[in-house]
């Protein structure tokens, strides 16, 4: 029996790295991509069935090239896990148009570029899973999130749209909405992060959701995400009041 294969972008650190190790330990072939080639090589050198495929997701031709390399090596991809993301909280407090453009270029269009190169493959194959990694920040607007939150909200909407489009070809589209996970990206945050979890915790939840379950959204930890889901249904006046109190936001 041939091993199954997963392709993970954003695989050099954080959730992507932890998930790569989890799938490798479960016997899968794992293709990891990110811009930082040295970090990818360090991971692949330590795990026999993890292979490094350096990639800049903002480069469309590079996405196509790397996809072809992975298919040539493994002959098959069962799951794509697209988790490339960027975040700079210091630049989110004011409207920094160039910063927001960069966030969307990486978070939204980088993910879209990755999905585009596998679209024909999965629709012809008529099975498999495309996973889009978003965030709880995409549920509703939050203070000091002029770029990151909107980019994740756009990914949520994209995932829902693609759910229908790929579903016609029997291809699963899955949305992953993590809470606060201790990664190099969240280490930049200058506020207390409730229910902070490890990348390994995230990897366990994602593996279970992708392999053992079939729901559209994998979100965790439930103690945080369920609260935010309830908040997202509240009328604007109540939502703004509660979030304002929770984040100590005050009108001037």
Q: How far apart are CA 39 and CA 33, in angstroms?
A: 10
Q: How far apart are CA 49 and CA 79, in angstroms?
A: 15
Q: How far apart are CA 35 and CA 68, in angstroms?
A: 17
pLDDT (tens place) for every residue of the chain, 252 residues total: 579 999 999 999 999 999 999 999 999 999 999 999 999 999 999 999 999 999 999 999 999 999 999 999 999 999 999 999 887 777 777 898 999 999 999 999 999 999 999 999 999 999 999 999 999 999 998 888 889 999 999 999 999 999 999 999 999 999 999 998 887 666 566 666 667 899 999 999 999 999 999 999 999 999 999 998 998 899 999 988 888 887 765 554
CA-CA-CA-CA dihedral for 207, 211, 215, 219, to nearest 10: 0
SS3 letters for 152-184? HHHHHHHHHHHHHHHHCCCCEEEEEEECCECCC
Q: How far apart are CA 100 and CA 102, in angstroms?
A: 5
Q: Give me the pLDDT at residue 189, please.
A: 62
Q: Give me the pLDDT at residue 190, please.
A: 61
Q: How far is CA 86 from CA 107, 157, 178, in A?
A: 6, 19, 15
Q: Which residues contact 181 (CB under 8 A, 6 or more apart)?
A: 14, 15, 196, 197, 198, 199, 201, 202
Q: Which residue has the tokens 């899968």?
A: 28
CATH code: domain 5-246 is: 3.40.50.720
> Assign residue 212 a region: left if phi > 0, alpha if psi is -120 to 50, beta otherwise?
alpha
């Amino acid at each position: 029996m041939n091993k199954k294969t997963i392709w993970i972008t954003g695989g050099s650190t954080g959730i992507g790295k932890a998930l790569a190790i989890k799938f490798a330990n479960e016997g899968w072939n794992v293709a990891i991509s990110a811009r930082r080639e040295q970090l990818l090589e360090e991971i692949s050198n330590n795990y026999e069935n993890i292979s490094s495929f350096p990639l800049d997701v903002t480069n469309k031709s590079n996405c196509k090239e790397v996809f072809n390399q992975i298919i040539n090596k493994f002959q098959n991809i069962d799951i794509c896990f697209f988790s490339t993301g960027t975040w700079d909280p210091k630049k989110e407090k004011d409207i920094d148009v160039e910063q927001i453009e960069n966030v969307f270029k990486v978070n939204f269009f980088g993910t879209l570029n990755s999905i585009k190169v596998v679209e024909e493959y999965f629709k012809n194959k008529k099975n498999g899973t495309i996973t889009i990694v978003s965030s709880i920040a995409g549920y509703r607007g939050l203070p000091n999130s002029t770029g990151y939150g909107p980019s994740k909200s756009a990914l949520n909407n994209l995932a829902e749209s693609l759910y229908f489009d790929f579903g016609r070809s029997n291809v699963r589209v899955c949305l992953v909405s993590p809470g606060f996970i201790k990664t190099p990206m969240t280490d930049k945050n200058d506020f207390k992060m409730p229910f902070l979890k490890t990348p390994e915790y995230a990897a366990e939840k994602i593996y279970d959701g992708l392999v053992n379950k079939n729901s559209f959204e994998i979100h965790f930890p439930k103690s945080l995400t369920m609260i935010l889901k309830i908040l997202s249904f509240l009328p604007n006046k109540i939502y703004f009041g509660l979030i304002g109190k929770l984040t100590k936001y005050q009108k001037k």
